Amino acid sequence: MTTVIDGKKVAASVIETVKAATQALATDAGVRAGLAVVIVGDDPASHAYVSSKSKMAKECGFLSIQHTLPEATTQEELAALVADLNADPSIHGILVQLPLPKHLNSEPIIQSILPEKDVDGLHVVNAGKLATGDLEGGLVSCTPAGAMVFVRQTHGEDLSGLNAVVIGRSNLFGKPMSALLLAANATVTTAHSRTKDLAAVCRNADILVAAVGRPEMVKAGWVKPGATVIDVGINRVPAPEKGEGKTKLVGDVAFAEAAEVASVITPVPGGVGPMTIAMLMANTVIAAHRKAGRKPPRF
């Protein structure tokens, strides 16, 4: 019987841990965790994301600050705001919502965030700490951190002897996911569009993580019987069965057929998605604990 991971349920348990840690930090050290979210422009999807992040931050008991900047904001104005937030001792986490409007260059903005406040885990210092196995010193990108919670719940802390395949090599997900699996002693293959006989590589995986952005690319024949399959793809495709012009969300894995072969699988939606905001909250409370010289909670 295949286990379908309920991402909402796991995310809710992460949030409970965050709330308890936030309360304990406030009681023991007099420190309230603070998260600042910056959004530029009018992109509706970005605004929806940001409002759910700000709402969750308030629910966790954080000091939650949102800066909504007009589309015409200059590079210098945005950089000045980040510098102010870096200098603000009440803010432990800074998140600049991507993508930024076309005229702004996101990379220097992201790299100007202090690494210890970079709760998105995108700063090169945090990427470097992860790459060198320093999981205690840096902050890990939220989506791979969330996917890794699923892996640990299924296989435990030590992945010795297990083969893991990550399809995708992006800086946002593929590379940090491979580094996390490697740090947990898995034997890791990072596969991608140029990999020869990708299906055969995937069939060797005890843990298969798909993050390519191609709808239902991973078929049942790619999945090793009994494998754990983590689907990070979010693709909107036509759904004529729902009516003319309707769409639906699907992952990078052909869920129905892969679920017949895998022992554990994540659905889309409702799998990795809910974990991303939960791990953002986790990173913020970790950053606040470190700043206060306290041992942060583990997730």
Q: Same domain, yes or no, for 168 and 221?
A: yes
Domain tally for the chain? 2
Cross-strand bridge partners of residue 95: 37
Give residue-wise pLDDT tens across range 26-70.
999 999 999 999 999 999 989 999 999 999 999 999 999 999 999
Q: Which of 43-52, 113-122, 141-150, 197-206 has the lowest mean pLDDT?
A: 43-52
Q: Same domain, yes or no, for 295 and 189?
A: no
Tokens of 119: 């709760």
| pLDDT for position 193 | 86
Q: Same domain, yes or no, for 169 and 103?
A: no
Residue showing tokens 């993508």: 99
**Confidence check: pLDDT of 245 > 90:** no
Catalytic residue among 117, 118, 120, 231: 120
Instruction: For residue 283, give Cα distances in angstroms to 33, 116, 214, 228, 296.
Output: 10, 10, 29, 25, 10
Q: Same domain, yes or no, for 96 and 186?
A: no
**Confidence check: pLDDT of 270 > 90:** yes
53 is catalytic: yes
Domain assignment present for residue 88? The answer is: yes
Residue showing tokens 């603070």: 34
Confidence of residue 244 (pLDDT cuts 50, 70, 90): confident
Confidence of residue 243 (pLDDT cuts 50, 70, 90): confident
Confidence of residue 106 (pLDDT cuts 50, 70, 90): very high
120 is catalytic: yes
Q: Same domain, yes or no, for 96 and 215?
A: no
Check whether the bond before 144 is cis (ω within 30° of 0).
no
Domain assignment present for residue 63? The answer is: yes
Confidence of residue 12 (pLDDT cuts 50, 70, 90): very high
Q: Specify the DSSP class assigned to residue 168.
A: -
**Confidence check: pLDDT of 1 > 90:** no
Domain assignment present for residue 262? The answer is: yes
What's the average model confidence in pLDDT over 152-158? 97
CATH number of the domain that residue 74 is part of: 3.40.50.10860
* Beta strand pairing call for 247-250 and 235-238: antiparallel
**Confidence check: pLDDT of 79 > 90:** yes
Tokens of 107: 């990379």
Q: Same domain, yes or no, for 255 and 285?
A: no
Tell me the residue range of the domain where 69 lies: 29-114+273-299
What's the average model confidence in pLDDT over 63-92? 98
| 205 vs 165: CA distance, rounded Å | 6
Q: Is 157 exposed, middle or buried (0-12, 13-18, 19+ CB in 10 A)?
A: exposed
CATH number of the domain that residue 162 is part of: 3.40.50.720
Domain assignment present for residue 50? The answer is: yes
97 is catalytic: yes
Q: Same domain, yes or no, for 225 and 263?
A: yes
Domain assignment present for residue 10? The answer is: no
What's the average model confidence in pLDDT over 103-118? 98
Catalytic residue among 6, 23, 42, 53: 53
pTM for this entry: 0.95
Angle between helices 142-155 and 174-183 (to 10 degrees): 40
Q: Same domain, yes or no, for 165 and 101?
A: no
% pLDDT > 70, the chain: 100
Cβ count within 10 A of residue 192: 14
| 194 vs 213: CA distance, rounded Å | 15
